[in-house]
Structure 1
């Protein structure tokens, strides 16, 4: 059985409308995703380019392979499968060098991610509680800053294992920056749904100080205060043609 088809069958058996049915089921999906290679999804040519990449990026992340200062091309999203029962969504983000997926969250969702090829920087956070309420002295409620603990801030290069983000742990709030051309295979369960309160929200570090007191045992140096924001205009995701096998119910 082709690996993508096998992955689909395992996802079908492992996810319900509320997410993974068990820890064992989630591990089965992780194991299958670990086996996926660029050639399984029609991206072997792109992976070869990434492996031989010798381009450079400057400090603001806007220098491309040609060396000219330009905004990077848009990120492409290759849609592999979305379950009609809304239990999962499978897709691939193909990111050109210096492109960024801004800091965002996956509320109420479990996300498995496998870097198929390339190198990227990952930064992720999880919310932490405060012992005193944050004083809403300015702005609207959705603009309040909240404390989030740093979970990960490092570089990842393929081949590497699958990572799992849980609804409240594992770095559910995260950002990606492509160092070379790279592709990220994502499985979301359940997928985004505004009707069910699973909207994607973007964040930035707050410039305002907060009156909230962190719980004991939380190191303030590992905490960032985040507030909601609009994604930058330069953040563009376009659907692209998927060259691999389209998985259908």
Structure 2
């Protein structure tokens, strides 16, 4: 999500230095190595992300082997692994509150990848937005969430898909583009993590909390205005909303699988706040 940037001063970035040796006794050091505690799940996720995204750049997708390795780590993540439970204040809402705020917990970010958690109370919404040139892993930690996701439709005479709407009557914006629905369903934890790619898998998506829920996001590379990875928001319209150029190119029975998307400014009712992550700490390695 793009509004992580606006929360930079409240992200609570906290990393602890690795403990230094305080003895020259080789035997003691060996004993400590043997009794070393296993890495926490969030530390393992960080270390895996660091390896998987080591060479990442805009539009570069990790290898299938790396994708499966990172997905395997995420699939095992639970709310308790990041210090969350549905009873926490982030997930409460009141009848007179209006649009419920979403809480963002920052875990880690460098120029290769970022990790964060979105905490949504019931009816909380992360509006339709994109992830330009990015590979994104999402893990629902608990609750039920509705996800609607689109990819830009492949256009051209060879596949018979429309490229634009007929704006000659002045009722349709000329900038509107055709997109294909990739996902439109509820997901309930526990479930596998999902992956979207720069041009496939639902790069533009919207999250709606059916119940209180939390989703852990890993983005590689992260949003960066300087590098052209700016978060854009969209309005979506049914395919039948506008008159289309060569409207017969898509059979009537398939038209519900398509929609028109129009870029918009960040929604004014997007209520997002930052909070300090208080779960198990991440030890940053070099």
Normalised-by-shorter TM-score class: 0.7 to 0.9
Pick closer, same or farther for the CA change 1:133–1:216 going to 2, 3 Å: closer
Paired with 1:149 and 1:173, the residues of 2 have a C-alpha distance of 10
Q: Shift of residue 221 of structure 1? A: 2.8
Q: Which residue of 1 aligns with 2:114?
A: 89
* Bigger shift: residues 125-134 or 166-175: 125-134
Contact kept? 1:82, 1:89, Cα under 8 Å: yes
CA contact under 8 A between 1:75 and 1:93: conserved in structure 2? yes
In structure 2, what is the equivalent of residue 3 of structure 1?
Answer: 41
Structure with the largest fraction of strand: 1
Task: Give me the TM-score of the superposition, normalised by structure 1.
Answer: 0.82
Instruction: Give secondary structure in 2 for the equivalent of 1:148.
Output: strand
Q: In the alignment, does 2:204 pair up with 1:173?
A: yes
Residue 78 of structure 2 corresponds to 37
Residues 244 and 198 of structure 1: CA distance in aligned 2, closer, same or farther (over 3 Å): same
Looking at structure 1, the residues matched to 163 and 62 of structure 2 have their Cα atoms a distance apart, in angstroms, of 35
Question: Tell me, which stretches of 5 or more residues in structure 1 are unaligned?
Answer: 51-63
* Equivalent in 260, 263, 267 of residue 228 of structure 1: 263
Match of 1:117?
A: 142
Aligned residues: 230
Write the distance in 2 (CA, Å) between the matches of 1:194 and 1:214: 39
Distance 1:233 1:6, change over 3 A: same
Report whether the alignment pairs 1:17 with 2:48: no
Question: TM-score with structure 2 length normalisation?
Answer: 0.72
Within 5 Å, which residues of 2 pair with 1:165-244? 165-206=196-237, 207-211=241-245, 219-244=254-279
Structure 1 runs (4+) deviating above 4 angstroms are 135-139, 212-218
1:176 partner SS: strand
Larger radius of gyration: 2
Alpha carbon RMSD of aligned pairs, Å? Answer: 2.6
Alignment of 1:51-90 (within 5 A): 68-83=95-110, 86-90=111-115
The alpha-carbon deviation at position 222 of structure 1 amounts to: 1.0
The 1:133/1:22 distance shift into structure 2, 3 A limit, reads closer
Separation of aligned partners in 2, 1:205 and 1:232:
13
2:33 counterpart residue number: none
Query: Structure 1 residues 113, 214: CA separation in 2 closer, same or farther (over 3 Å shift)?
Result: farther
